[in-house]
Amino acid sequence: MNSQSETPTSESAPPRVAVIDTGICNLRSVTKALEAVGAAIQVVRSPAEFEASGARGLVLPGVGALRDCVASLRASKLDATVQEWIAADRPFLGVCLGMQALFEHSEEGDIQGLGVFAGEVVRFRLPPEFKIPHMGWNTIRFRQPHALLAARLAAEGEAFYFVHSFHCVPRDPTLVLAESDYGGAFCAAIGRGRCFATQFHPEKSQAKGLQIYRNFAAIAAAA
């Protein structure tokens, strides 16, 4: 795997990527974005569907309440699928709630997450002039280079689209790939091995967001 940031070519088979349907995710926009960058998509709702998909990458999107997202994963038994896939260092991308679900605990509903990473999901505590949820375009600062953020993504000042009232606080600061600022710095993306997750929505972030999905598809193709 000498160039994870390369995109799949028309001469090679498109990478198969499974997208988990928790019932509360922005499924259509995420799948359309992945299809736009050349991935072959399989929506999965059970471990059996995932195993049958032959996927080389796994995506967990989500919008709404983290409690509902985690409850859906546990009810379908896909929580163990996510944990085992990440533990095996297979390509994984979490989006919004799909990032928050990876941590141990969330203040939103006082729930236990999947515990893939040590840390908390906490509510923004900001002066009244800062509206909650944090919604709209905001710039991010890349803390370290990474294949997910490669290819035409600048080191500073790229804007992505956010919609969230809670943010992740990893216990290990080396997990943080990117930060943004809203009344203070917060974690905007994480990465460890081939596991990546973003608090922002790449599928709502125009060309730069599509580049995130393109890079992930390339990582899956090379896996």
CATH number at 70 reads 3.40.50.880
Q: Is residue 3 part of a domain?
A: no
Quick one: average pLDDT of 91-101? 97
Q: Is residue 153 part of a domain?
A: yes
Catalytic residue among 134, 146, 164, 203: 203
Quick one: average pLDDT of 32-55? 96
Distance (Å, whole) CA 126 – CA 81: 36
Q: Which two tokens stand for residue 19?
A: 């997208």
Confidence grade of residue 1 (pLDDT, cut at 50, 70, 90): very low
Quick one: average pLDDT of 13-26? 90
Distance (Å, whole) CA 121 – CA 162: 16
**Strands in 143-194 per DSSP E:** 156-164, 166-170, 176-181, 185-192
Quick one: average pLDDT of 36-46? 96
Q: Is residue 9 part of a domain?
A: no
The more confident residue out of 65 and 199 is 199
Distance (Å, whole) CA 80 – CA 64: 22
Q: Is residue 10 part of a domain?
A: no
Task: Based on the residue annotation, tell me whether 96 is a catalytic residue of this protein.
Answer: yes
Q: Is residue 5 part of a domain?
A: no
Q: Is residue 213 part of a domain?
A: yes
Distances from the Cα of 216 to the Cαs of 58, 90, 194, 195, 204, in angstroms? 10, 11, 9, 10, 16
Strand, coil or helix: 87: helix
Q: What range defines the domain where residue 103 resides?
A: 16-222
pLDDT at 9 over 50: no
What domain count does the chain have? 1
Distance (Å, whole) CA 191 – CA 150: 13
Catalytic residue among 134, 146, 164, 201: 201
pLDDT at 155 over 70: no
Residue 106 C-beta-side C-alpha neighbours within 13 Å: 24
Given the DSSP bridges, would you call strands 92-95 and 111-112 parallel, antiparallel or unpaired? unpaired
pLDDT at 10 over 80: no
Task: Based on the residue annotation, tell me whether 201 is a catalytic residue of this protein.
Answer: yes
Query: So what's the pLDDT on residue 145?
Result: 79
Q: Any idea which of 5-9, 126-130, 157-161 has the lowest mean pLDDT?
A: 5-9
Catalytic residue among 25, 69, 96, 187: 96
Confidence grade of residue 13 (pLDDT, cut at 50, 70, 90): confident
Average pLDDT, rounded, for the chain:
90
Quick one: average pLDDT of 27-44? 95
The more confident residue out of 168 and 153 is 168
pLDDT at 114 over 80: yes
pLDDT at 184 over 80: yes
Residue 197: is it exposed, middle or buried by C-beta count within 10 angstroms (0-12/13-18/19+)? buried
Quick one: average pLDDT of 186-197? 96
pLDDT at 152 over 60: no
Query: Over the stretch 60-90, which tens digit does the pLDDT of each residue have?
Result: 998 888 999 999 999 999 999 999 999 999 9
Determine the residue type at 166.
F
Confidence grade of residue 98 (pLDDT, cut at 50, 70, 90): very high
